[in-house]
Amino acid sequence: MKDMIAYCGLDCETCDAYRATINDDQALRERTAKKWAELNNAPILPEHINCEGCRADGVKTVYCDSLCGIRQCALEKRVTTCGECSELNHCQTVGAIIANNPDALHHLKGSQDGFTTENNRQTEI
């Protein structure tokens, strides 16, 4: 699971784009495209909903691949996740993700300690 934690701490395995891709679920792609298009006021189509994980090799959504500022920053700083960045506690960019998803911070703090979360318990990696 640790490779499926995005740079921002979100769990890619719970992402609808990832799940639609891995399961080749066209209905989920269509629902996700509609939802994301409405949320982002953007022309997102079902064929845009393909992703194998933010940090994994393979296909990514256009946003995750080239528009995500968090991913670009982590790549520039050469960190595995924002949990390895000395600016984590003051970063407004990843702070917005953490504010809406407290598990993201838990994943990031776990990566600092050499631990990863799995089924809400910590296990040494």
pLDDT tens string 24-79: 999 999 999 999 999 888 899 999 999 999 999 899 998 888 889 999 999 999 99
Q: How many CA atoms lie within 13 A of 18 on its CB side?
A: 16
Q: At what angle do helices 92-100 and 69-77 cross, to 10 degrees?
A: 130
- 67 or 123: whose pLDDT is higher? 67
pLDDT over threshold 90, residue 22: yes
pLDDT at 117: 38
pLDDT value of position 111: 59
In sign, the C-alpha dihedral spanning 23, 27, 29, 32 is negative
Do the Cβ atoms of 88 and 64 come closer than 8 Å?
no
124 is written with which tokens?
């040494």
pLDDT digits (tens, 9 = 90+) for 74-103: 999 999 999 999 999 999 989 989 998 989
Q: Which residues contact 59 (CB under 8 A, 6 or more apart)?
A: 21, 50, 51, 52
pTM: 0.76
